[in-house]
Amino acid sequence: MIYYSSSGFAAHRDLLNAAIAPSFRDTPPKELTDLLSAAETMNTIRNDLIHGEWSFKSAEEAAIRVFKPRAKGRSYIFDVAPDLLETWSDEVNEIIGQIYDLRTSIDHGDKNSAD
């Protein structure tokens, strides 16, 4: 309930990291930390796409200006073509699939066990 009460990715990430930390004696598996890092990268791209100022160069290409008042670079512009959006979409779907596969492969024990 706590996890789903927040709508922001950063809060979800922090809750996941807090939940993961005590589950592993040493460190979480690299594949898990890599997935969280990839998800963080895609979340940054998503924020730029949603909150950036779009200008269309042509029917096939747009430029997005992003202003981040708290960031070191503060402002930047990047070009976005339809194939790049498709690539990002594929990356997000791949991350979701990997998280699902990892989640289902971890033995959580039988919580309904009589032991």
Give me 88's structure tokens: 């990002």
Tens place of pLDDT per residue across the chain (115 aa): 565 676 777 777 777 777 776 666 667 778 778 888 888 888 888 888 888 888 888 878 888 888 776 667 678 888 888 888 889 889 988 988 887 787 676 655 555 544 4
**Is residue 86 within a helix (H) or strand (E), and if so which, with residue range?**
helix 82-105
Give the angle 73-79-80 at the CA atoms, nearest 5°: 125
Element (H, E) at 38: helix 30-51
Could you count the other beta carbons within 10 Å of the beta carbon of residue 76? 13
Residue 2 lies in a domain: no
Q: What is the Cα–Cα distance from 106 to 35, expressed in whole angstroms?
A: 15
The reply to whether 9 falls in a domain is no
Domain count for the chain: 1
Residue 78 lies in a domain: yes
Q: Specify if 61 maps to a domain.
A: yes
Is 91 a member of any domain?
yes
pTM value is 0.64
Q: Which domain holds residue 39?
A: 28-105
Q: Is residue 4 part of a domain?
A: no
Whether 114 is covered by a domain: the verdict is: no
